[in-house]
Structure formats: structure tokens, C-alpha cells
Amino acid sequence: MYRTKTCGELRAADAEQTVTLAGWVHKNRRMGGMTFVDIRDRYGLTQLVFNRETHADLCDKANTLGREYVIRVTGRVKNRQNPNEYLPTGAIEVIVTELDLLNPADTPPFTIEDDTDGGEELRMKYRYLDLRRKVVRENLELRHRMTMEVRRYLDQQGFMEVETPMLISSTPEGARDFVVPSRMNPGQFYALPQSPQTFKQLLMVSGFDRYFQIVKCFRDEDLRADRQPEFTQIDCEMSFVEQDDVLNLFEGMSKHLFYTLRGMEITEPFPRITWHEAMKDYGSDKPDMRFGMKLVELTNLLRGQGFPVFDTATYIGGICAKGAAGYTRRQIDALTDFVKRPQIGAKGLVYARIEADGTVRSSIDKFLPQAVLQQMKETLAAQTGDLLLILSGENTTKTRKQLSELRLEMGNQLGLRNKDTFACLWITDFPLLEWNEQDQRYYAMHHPFTSPKPEDIYLLDTRPEEVRANAYDMVINGVEIGGGSIRIHDSALQNKMFRLLGFTQEQAQAQFGFLMNAFKYGAPPHGGLAYGLDRWASLFAGLDSIRDCIAFPKNNSGRDVMIDAPSAIEPSQLNELNLSVTHHAH
């Protein structure tokens, strides 16, 4: 038997037992005639003691053990004279009487510690070593518990887990597909699914009523901290439901996860705000609600006062940073540089302080009389000691987004975005369509199967840009965790939607004919949503990137540096697939 106990299992109550442990050498240190070795496995770490006086040969053997050697030991559990209160097994140690070297190991390229000396690229190359680190392992344990609780909750709510195909047909709408050549069908390609959207709708037509799947999805898009080319969704669909039915059930699931995984009991309903409210008050459709600092429009108040930048602006808006009037000129200049960054794109920043006597001092005092400044103070609900930050621009949406970035930066600087605090909300009533100037056509804000609000359907023929979608997103701490919609289940309405999106009847039939045909045989009203499992796990783990809650992630270039993928394939494989490779200069 390789082991009778794990390395994280022993406690003071186990004293005087004889046990066998197996694991990796974490540390090895000599102190006089004693050698102490920390042995580690997935479950924890135990201190081993080798005594030269009683077992000189074992002590010599222990002194040859290097980091990450795989060993098995047998010994007697003893209570420590100086317990380590920071270690779960810190009350005991094992006095070793037998030692077997199961496998030696090369010296690792970085330390297997919580605070490792390995950079991210190096750790990704040796990910199997990185996964031995406690902090990374705990992220995957959290992810595992999350999937178990999701399955438990949905099973209790009558959902059935059904697998859908990984090899499907390509659809040019949305993000780019990953395509897979078919050997048996020369010149034709499968696509890897961006989501199981059409299949879960077909399951509703099939009468399955409540479906879910924890499923891999694929998108060939530019990467960032919260994106990977392959990611995992908690994908769900329900029949005979309206929007409130979906939101209430999955709000319940969210609260269940907070309680079981974070020990937080949330009794209040999640706030719900419309997309238009979110854009007006926060400049974002995924606002961080852990703090206030709403955007306030000041256009009518500040335009026409003689300050050229404001006088030519379409939109002027400000935020009130509570208690930040003590910001130095250097800090203000740094904020100005921040909003001028190319990815934000503001031309400058105007600021004002609320002085101890209630007066307002601004960076453009010569243009704004005190009476106007006092009105601005009142409009922004500012008080003594507050700092007002103002941006303007010719495009309302763009300027609000710039203010949103400034709001988040101030939230960071003022310590208002604590990772142990969570603020959840639903965003509803998105626009159904968005106009693309370059292509001179509408695109679906979510996807072509999203239903318009019933009361807005009459606008589709005359003012389609005003139609609201029966769609919703769940946002936690400024991160979109999931979203979905009530679907179109009527063939005539779906055909109208395809026409609005610029599909010819032939194109719609070629791409989605199987779904439209299915609708002819009695499609129930249905809707659902999908949560990003990677995002949710990383949020609960307090991570800045989703990579550390994925066992084997890709880097920012979409590469797996451990297995060196993607890579070229053999010419014989290309021939089998009827493919040739042409290299184009970038």
C-alpha cells in the first residue's frame, strides 16, 4: 500500500499511530543530528523527522533528497514540541522508520511556493509544476466545487444535462469560428461551437423542457485577461417561461453558489436596471455597483459659459469622488494622463475641489463664475472635501465610456473595489439591434434568435433601432458573468428578424433552415442564459485573470506554450485533408 493517510490528514488525535505517507519533497533541511523533510500532496503538507541517533542510514538517505523527489515513508505520529499554528497538520510530525525513493526529480525551474519566483510564461511552459502550487490547486478545487453545486442545484430544479455536438456548421455572424477540415467530405469544414445555441433551442422543440450543460465553447478572437480561445459555459434553456421566470430561477442559483462556496447568505433581490439606465448613469453595460460615483450630465449647465472646449461639446459629464479634494497636482496630472491614453481617448480633464468654506475652486475658474460652480456642486451632490472630475466630447456614448473608465480608476485609487465584496445586478432591455456604419446594416446585439419585447414588435418595420430586446445580463463587480434572452419561437417573426439583419431567404435557409423547419412542428415559448464558468470561478477566487482557474490555459497569443500548440502538421496529413498551406506576409 502506497499510503494509509494523506499529507494533509494527520492531527493531534492521531499521535502514536503508525502511518504510511506518499508525496513530493517540498523542503529538506538539516539541524544537527536531525533532518526535517516536508512531504506534500494535493491534500496538504506534513513534517517528517529523521533522527541520526536511531536511524543513521535513513538520515543519510534523507539528506540526498532533492526538491520534488517522489517518496514513500512509514513512521510514528508524534505531537510537536513547538506546533505550527499556521499549518493544519502543524500539531504533529512523523518520526520516519522507513523511506522509499519512488522517483528522483530534476531541480524545478521555479519554486513550488505560493509566492513563486517563476514568471507567467515560464509557469505556463511547466504548467504541470505550477499546478502543484497550493494557490493554483485551490482555484481548481473551487472550480470543481462550483460545477458540483451547479449540477446539484439544477438537478433539484428539474433540469437534465444533455451533451450537444462539438463538430457543427460554421455561421459567419458573431465572432470568428475555429474551423475543422473534413477528410471524408473534401473541401468542406466543420466549425467548433461558439455556443450550443441552436441545439438547445431544438431540445426545447423536442419537449425536454429544462436543459443544461457545462460545455466547452470556442471563439477565434483577440484575447485579454477574461478571454480564452476555448472557455466553459454553464448553458441553460427552459420552455414555457417569460423573462422573470428565468431571472428568478438563476438568481436563486447564484445565491446558492454564494452561500455554498463563499459562505455568504444573500436575502435581498438583485437590483435590475435597464441598459439605457446603465449607460446613462455608469457609461457601461456592466457597471461595478460596489460603489456609487454615478455619472451626472452637466451639458446644459456648463455649455455656453465661454470655455471653448465645453461650448463645442455635445456631452459634458462629471463624477464626484468623495473625500478626494486633497489630491495633489501630481495626482491630478496622473489622472489627466490616464484619460488621455489611446485606449480611453479623452482630450483632457477638468477638475474642481470643494473647499472647507463650501466654495468651489476649479481648473477653469476664469470661465466659470462661483454661482455656476455652486450649481455644479449641487447637481453632483458634492460636499466639503470632495473632488469633481469632468469630461466632455462630441460623442455622448464615447464620452460616457471615458467617464466610466475614470470612475473605475477612482474606485481603485480610493479602495472602493474590494475583492471580498460582491455587488450583483441584472441589466435588462438591451437594444435588439445595433447599426454598423461600415457595413451599412444592422447586427443583432445578442444573436439573431433573441426575441424583441412584445410591446416593441410593431416598431420593427418603421424604427427598428428603438426596439428593445427581451434580453438580460447578470453582472457581478463590473464583470459580465452571464446573459441570455427569451427566444423567438414564431417562424414568421424569425424570418422578419433575418431580413432585418440582411439575410436573403436563401442565406437564412442555408444557415438556419433546420431550426426554421423545426419551428413548424410546434415550438414552445422558451428562453435561457449561459454563465461563463471561468469568469465566475476567477471572481470567487479573487483573480485578475481567468487563466489561473483553468488547468491548461493559452497565453495572450492563443498559444499553449507547454505543448507548443498550434503547430504545423505533416504534409501527409494535409494531403489527406485536401489542403495546402499558403503563407501571406502580414
Residue with cell 499546478: 131
Local confidence band at 107 (pLDDT 50, 70, 90 cut-offs): very high
pLDDT at 173 over 70: no
Residues 266 and 297 in one domain: no
Residues 150 and 96 in one domain: no
User: Domain holding 251: CATH number?
Assistant: 3.30.930.10
Residues 404 and 352 in one domain: yes
Kindly report the backbone phi and psi dihedral angles of residue 577, in degrees, each rounded to the nearest multiple of 5, phi listed first.
Answer: -95, 5
Domain range for 320 is: 291-413
What b-and-e string marks burial along 40-67, b requiring 16 or more CB atoms within 10 Å of the CB? Answer: bbeebbbbbbbebeebeebbebbeebee
Angstrom CA distances, 374 to 116, 203, 377, 381, 507, stand at: 53, 61, 5, 10, 60
Domain end: 369, 388, 413, which one?
413
Rounded mean pLDDT of the chain?
Answer: 95
pLDDT given at position 511? 87
pLDDT given at position 224? 72
Local confidence band at 172 (pLDDT 50, 70, 90 cut-offs): low
pLDDT in tens, 445-486: 888 999 999 999 999 999 999 999 999 999 999 999 999 999
- Nearest in space to 501 (alpha carbons), one of 168, 174, 169, 170: 174
Local confidence band at 174 (pLDDT 50, 70, 90 cut-offs): low
pLDDT in tens, 496-552: 999 999 888 898 888 888 999 999 999 999 999 999 999 999 999 999 889 999 999
Q: In what order do the strands lie in the sheet with 424-428?
A: 160-161, 210-218, 230-239, 526-532, 479-486, 471-476, 424-428, 272-274
Take residue 235 and report the three cell numbers written for it. 448553458
3-class DSSP state of 408:
helix
Residues 27 and 83 in one domain: yes
Residues 245 and 324 in one domain: no
Take residue 360 and report the three cell numbers written for it. 468651489
Q: What's the whole-model pTM score?
A: 0.93
pLDDT at 226 over 90: no
- Asked whether 228 and 550 are in contact (CB, 8 A), the reply is yes
The strand ranges marked E within 347-486 are 350-354, 360-362, 387-393, 424-428, 433-436, 441-444, 471-476, 479-486
Residues 460 and 527 in one domain: yes
Residues 428 and 340 in one domain: no
Contacts 24+ apart (CB under 8 A), 140-144: 140/549, 140/551, 142/261, 142/537, 142/540, 142/541, 142/549, 143/533, 143/537, 143/549
Position 519 in a domain: yes
- Nearest in space to 409 (alpha carbons), one of 332, 494, 510, 304: 332
pLDDT at 25 over 90: yes
Percent of the chain with pLDDT over 90: 89
Residues 233 and 173 in one domain: yes
pLDDT given at position 409? 98
Residues 397 and 513 in one domain: no
Give, to the nearest 10 degrees, the angle between helix 243-262 and helix 533-541.
40
Residue with cell 460636499: 383
Residues 330 and 450 in one domain: no
Which residues share a beta bridge with 231?
Answer: 217
User: Domain holding 29: CATH number?
Assistant: 2.40.50.140
Give, to the nearest 10 degrees, the angle between helix 329-340 and helix 396-413.
140
| Interatomic CA distance for residues 496 and 504, integer angstroms | 11
Please tell me the total count of domains within the chain.
3
Domain end: 44, 79, 103, which one?
103
Residues 70 and 148 in one domain: no
User: Domain holding 342: CATH number?
Assistant: 3.30.1360.30
Residues 224 and 169 in one domain: yes
Which residues share a beta bridge with 393?
Answer: 315
